[in-house]
Structure 1
Amino acid sequence: MKQTLVSQCFISMLLLLILPLSASALTIDGYEIPQIIPATSQHAELKLNGASMRILYGVVDTYIGKLYVENPETDPDALIEADEFKRMVFKIVMKRISGRRIAKAMYEALQLNVTREEASVLEDRLQLLVTMFDSSLKKGQESYVEWVPSEGSRIVLNGEVKGMIPGKDLYDALLRIWIGENPVGSTFKRQVLGIEEYQAPRSIRRKGRR
């Protein structure tokens, strides 16, 4: 009996040691990052593909970017092309930031990841997206842009649905801001793709207007 208990304890400890790192909770800037978003009537269970800190000008922590998808993938092209529910989440870590500032930053970053012809086709919808980011966000609040298959890109600011913009080409372009050829940051891209896990920097950076 005693030997059996020892064996069970040994097996339990061994299982804990071999559990994949992805099973452990990810924490960024003190915020625990959920590994899943439960299924709803609108979408299947969404899994965290990856998350990272967006650092403005290399010194100011701005937001935590989280990408949730139905089927996690490390190939950026596969993620972009997949016509399934996706959600790009922006968790604000600055004291306050205007939604318009976020939208304009997205607009500028997007231009680096599309051709002139693509930008021209997207222009009216991009301007509509900018107008939807019409309120300020405080530290700890979230906004997100999600792709709803056959419907469009839904914009949500701090729980308030701002609207839906049609066209998968728009969402594909928005996703390229994070994981395209010219992302907002190479480390950010790798971490959102799940290739590299977020590591808190050793050096102390200035926090964004805290």
Structure 2
Amino acid sequence: MRAFFVAALLAAGSLGSAAAWADTVEVANVKYETALDLAGQKLQLNGVGIRYKFVIKVYTAGLYLSSKAGTTAEVLAAHGPKRIHIQMLREVDGNELGKLFTKGMEANAPREEFVKSINGVLKLSEVFASRKALVAGDNFSVDFVPGVGSTLQLNGKPLLSEPIKEPEFFSALLRIWLGDKPADESLKEALLGLKKARR
């Protein structure tokens, strides 16, 4: 009888571990929740991946939406709040990162969308330029809430005094990773849930 109870407890423990594991996805030793609440709505992890520069892992990225989307057009058209979450895997100069993001938005967004995003682009560049560097372990999120705008958090702390109101900004930002000239083609596919992230 005692052996039965021990076996039952072990089985329960392994089920608990499996359930806990199912609530997160791990990539490059970074855990992403499979679901989260934003502005009172439930979002699910659409995809997660790693940004490589040559063979060097630079950061991980996770995209959260209210419903699954498998194409860039579906992501941009998706209703409700959205989040892109980045976690650094190595040190990157803050000013350089801001410039790369700006170039990525300009290269991928339609001209009219980019022009309407200028206010947000400048604010984002200022935020990164004000930091000497982002180091391994630093993370930032950009949240978009319809009717409110985009907010930026670094290591969980808000960085803007008020949201970036232009909805075009968030769309242009997402195009860095999901546009026709993405920062990393493999990461694009991972964020769209088309393939598992490279480890």
TM-score of Structure 1 vs Structure 2, range by shorter chain: 0.7 to 0.9
Counterpart residue number, 2:105: 110
* Alignment length (residue pairs): 177
Unaligned runs of 5+ in 1: 1-15, 17-22, 201-210
Q: Given the alignment of the two structures, is residue 186 of structure 1 paired with residue 185 of structure 2, yes or no?
A: yes
- Runs of 4 or more consecutive aligned structure 1 residues displaced over 4 Å after TM superposition: none
Q: Over residues 2-48 of structure 1, what are the superposed CA-to-partner deviations in whole Å (9 max), with x where a residue is unaligned?
A: xxxxxxxxxxxxxx9xxxxxx585321122332122x25x2312211
**2:117/2:166 contact within 8 Å kept:** no
Q: Percent identity?
A: 25
Counterpart residue number, 1:83: 79
1:77, 1:85 → 2: CA distance?
16
Tell me how far 1:190 sits from its aligned partner.
0.6
Q: Over residues 56-106 of structure 1, what are the superposed CA-to-partner deviations in whole Å (9 max), with x where a residue is unaligned?
A: 2x1221110111111121122111122311111110110x33433322211
Unaligned runs of 5+ in 2: 1-14, 16-21
Assess, with a 3 A threshold, how the Cα gap between structure 1 residues 25 and 124 changes in structure 2: closer, same or farther: closer
Tell me how far 1:116 sits from its aligned partner.
3.5
1:25, 1:146 → 2: CA distance?
20
Q: Over residues 177-206 of structure 1, what are the superposed CA-to-partner deviations in whole Å (9 max), with x where a residue is unaligned?
A: 111222112111110000101132xxxxxx
Counterpart residue number, 1:99: 94
1:25, 1:199 → 2: CA distance?
17
1:24, 1:166 → 2: CA distance?
32
1:124, 1:24 → 2: CA distance?
37
Q: 3-state SS of the aligned residue for 1:48?
A: strand
CA RMSD of aligned residues (A): 2.3
